[in-house]
Amino acid sequence: MKTKLLMLTVALSCVFGGNAMALTKAEYKTQKDQISADYKAGRDKCGAMKDNAKDICVAEAKGAEKVAKAELEAQYKPSAKHTQGAAMAKGDAAYDVAKEKCDDLAGNAKDVCVKDAKAAHVKAKEEAKVMKASADGSANKSEKVTDAKKDASAEVREANYKAAKERCDSLAGNAKDSCQKDAKAKLSM
């Protein structure tokens, strides 16, 4: 009997725990104002920097703001869509910062850096899509999740192949051909 009562208590706390996480309108506004203030402070610290370091700093500040706003929205209005939006914001922010960091490089190293950043971005976007499909409450949820995972796997594999192929471009002749064949075989293209 005690076990059943304990299990019931845990189950109910989980049910009501989700509602306790939701914010009031006043809390939402306060946190939104704090996010804006944090962004301005982060951007102000970038003012003393020069060249690409400044661009990276600004991208980090903007990314942090976008992520914070998306997470706040997901907390204020919990839904699969807002959770996916928060995950997408994280991926977009990381991609924007990574692209800025690539600007410090030149030639093939820069191209590889950009392709790697793009591959990581594609992976983050696809994971967010799978997460949204997993949160779907429809009758054919498992089918949607399976399709989303299949599509995600193909997209990520394609992006990783492009990055691997770009790495091969620094080579010449047989070494380049061998590198490209290895990349194709490794990623099942």
Domain boundary among the residues 58, 83, 104 is at 104
Is residue 176 domain-resident?
Answer: yes
Tens-level pLDDT at each residue, the chain (189 residues): 443 333 334 443 443 344 445 788 999 999 999 999 999 999 999 999 999 999 999 999 999 999 999 999 999 998 889 999 999 999 999 999 999 999 999 999 999 999 999 999 999 999 998 888 887 777 777 888 888 889 999 999 999 999 999 999 888 999 999 999 998 888 876
Is residue 5 domain-resident?
Answer: no
What total number of domains does the chain contain?
Answer: 2
Is residue 115 domain-resident?
Answer: yes
**67 and 144 share one domain:** no
Cα separations (Å) of 91 from 5, 35, 48?
A: 43, 19, 27
Measured CA to CA, the distance from residue 153 to residue 147 in angstroms comes to: 10
Residue type, 35: I
Contact status, residue 156 vs residue 122, Cβ threshold 8 Å: yes
Is residue 94 domain-resident?
Answer: yes
**126 and 184 share one domain:** yes
**116 and 154 share one domain:** yes
Domain boundary among the residues 82, 104, 126 is at 104
Contact status, residue 160 vs residue 189, Cβ threshold 8 Å: no
Pick from 131, 65, 127, 51: nearest CA to 96: 65
**54 and 70 share one domain:** yes
**131 and 98 share one domain:** no
Domain hosting residue 73, numbered range? 26-104
**pTM to 2 decimals?**
0.76
Is residue 2 domain-resident?
Answer: no
Measured CA to CA, the distance from residue 126 to residue 129 in angstroms comes to: 5
**121 and 189 share one domain:** yes
Phi and psi based region of residue 106 (left: phi greater than 0; alpha: psi -120 to 50; beta: remaining): beta
